[in-house]
Structure 1
Amino acid sequence: MDYFLQMRNISKTFGEVKALRNVNFEVGTNEIVGLLGDNGAGKSTLIKIIMGYHRPDPGGEIILKGKKVEDWSVEKARSYGIEAVYQERALADLQPLWRNIFMGREITNRFGVLDVKKMREETDRLMRTTMGFTSAAISADSLVRNMSGGERQGVAITRALYFQAEMIILDEPTMGLSLSETKKCLEFVEDIKKAGKCCIFIDHNIYHVYPVADRIVVIDRGMVAGQFYKNQVSLEELTARLYLVAQTGRLNSNGEAGAGEEPRGEL
């Protein structure tokens, strides 16, 4: 497999707290990776390292498109096309849809003046072709605060795709969504793969992650407890194994819980 991102022996210490311990993690160039783990497992720290907000402890390596990257930072992460959609979705509720799509990356004319007409036209096109908005009640000038949670999630993902993100990190994208909105959100995740991009899908709910993920990585107490290729394990089997991880933090070579064992890379 060609990898977009590879992380080797990633650790992160905050004072006396070891948030991550020798984590190995990778994402293929056109792969959806589900990242599961309880609160405090280390998911957020890992994602903040990927986004450049934290630097790993000495000894860890970050490899992008086969090349080791030194002095990792937010700017370097963005230069490689890494975008994150957080739980809050980072949208301005009191602004129209077109302003949210182009916030911080506005289109200007040759005089440096905002090209509002062009941004509205582009937003309208994206609404029909990517977001799937067909209702006449929603336009490029509609305020974001009047949209549902699923629609807002679609706006955030569409914005990332529009600006040529190579990898999109979704942080609990289905939190607070209704069943129909969750279904729509998962369709957006599938669209990321269809666009030839890769994605890290962070969630607590295996029933949301399993349908769209190619591979599922479980992190527990700062370490990778296991990873599963969806085509090699059923949802029922995976659910049972996750329960064992929650109880012991480890899986042994037979995929069974074993206290004190080191986590394996593949199960």
Structure 2
Amino acid sequence: MTRTPILQVEHLTKHFGAVQAVNDVSFSVYSHEVVALVGDNAAGKSTVAQMVAGALTPTVGRILVDGEPVALASPREAFAHGIATVYQQLALCENLDVTSNIFLGREITGSNGLLDVKEMDRLAHGYLDQLGGRIPDVHTPLVELSGGQRQGVAIARTLVADPRILVMDEPTASLSVSQTADVLNYIEGLREMGKGVILISHNLQDVRAVADRIIVLRHGRINGEFRSQDATYEQVIAAITGLVHG
């Protein structure tokens, strides 16, 4: 029996006035899979990601979740369909601790109407453990965490709503080697949990470390698709630079 992708994008096209940012892009994402979108600046990666995240509406094309077309007119609607996005700017509160950030806006209350801090702490530990996170104390203020640990908190925050698909926009940008390793470990944790991940990245070393498939965008079109375990660095670079055509 053929497996149904949890996410399909079909013939996505986006115009900004006379500028065609994305043209006829189609791909699928399955559970337990990391799909990387790579390409040079202005290749269309972020535009595709924003359409999947509900931040932009396609000019042409459609998006399907579990084989059913969905209208994603806003990030809230995308979230309701199980699509969560972790942006490069994490929008976390540095003055709050880890648990408070994870449950910000989704706090759990007990029967007495007061915050159930113990339950939130327990769940926060669980989310971070599932991701393989190295944050020993969920009461640590965010300001004391590394960039990689903050990415872990941002990812854990999405898990409160149990999303099916995560869109990650340049999650390792400006991180040290050790912090990058932490984030790549989080992404592998998401795959183990059965999530589908769309990874936007300029760093081919990171992409090849965690992605199952690599989709190359060039001038808004798909110019190559590779299985990470089979593709060479040179093949991917050739597709990015236009030395080969998809």
Q: Which runs of 5+ in 1 are unaligned?
A: 253-262
Q: Which residue pairs with 1:227 in the alignment?
A: 225
Distance 1:82 1:115, change over 3 A: same
Residue identity in the other structure for 1:231: Q
3-state DSSP class of the match of 2:55? coil
Q: Which residue pairs with 2:28 in the alignment?
A: 26
Q: Which residue pairs with 2:236 in the alignment?
A: 242
Is residue 12 of structure 2 the alignment partner of residue 10 of structure 1?
Answer: yes
**1:22-76 deviation digits (Å, cap 9, x = unpaired):** 1112211221101111221111111110011111114x12111011224643233
Q: Which residue pairs with 2:144 in the alignment?
A: 146
Q: What is the TM-score with the length of structure 1 in the denominator?
A: 0.84
3-state DSSP class of the match of 1:141? coil
Q: Aligned match of 2:45 in 40, 43, 46?
A: 43
**1:103-136 deviation digits (Å, cap 9, x = unpaired):** 111112235443233323433454556454365x
Is residue 244 of structure 2 the alignment partner of residue 251 of structure 1?
Answer: yes
3-state DSSP class of the match of 2:6? strand
CA distance in 2, matches of 1:94, 1:12: 39
**1:79-115 deviation digits (Å, cap 9, x = unpaired):** 1211111112221111111110101111122354432
Give the deviation of 1:18 after TM superposition.
Answer: 0.7
Q: Aligned match of 2:58 in 51, 56, 59?
A: 56
Distance 1:43 1:109, change over 3 A: same
Q: Which runs of 5+ in 2 are unaligned?
A: none
Give the deviation of 1:195 after TM superposition.
Answer: 0.5
Which of the two has higher C-alpha Rg? 1
**1:142-179 deviation digits (Å, cap 9, x = unpaired):** 11011001111111122223431111111111111111
Name which structure has the greater RCO, CA cutoff 8 Å, separation 6+: 2
On the 8 A contact 1:2/1:29 being kept in 2, the answer is no
3-state DSSP class of the match of 2:241? helix
Is residue 81 of structure 2 the alignment partner of residue 83 of structure 1?
Answer: no
Is residue 156 of structure 2 the alignment partner of residue 158 of structure 1?
Answer: yes
On the 8 A contact 2:88/2:170 being kept in 1, the answer is yes
Distance 1:134 1:157, change over 3 A: closer
Distance 1:97 1:6, change over 3 A: same
Distance 1:86 1:134, change over 3 A: closer
Name the % identity.
36
On the 8 A contact 1:35/1:200 being kept in 2, the answer is yes
Structure 1 residue runs of 4 or more that deviate by more than 6 Å after TM superposition = none
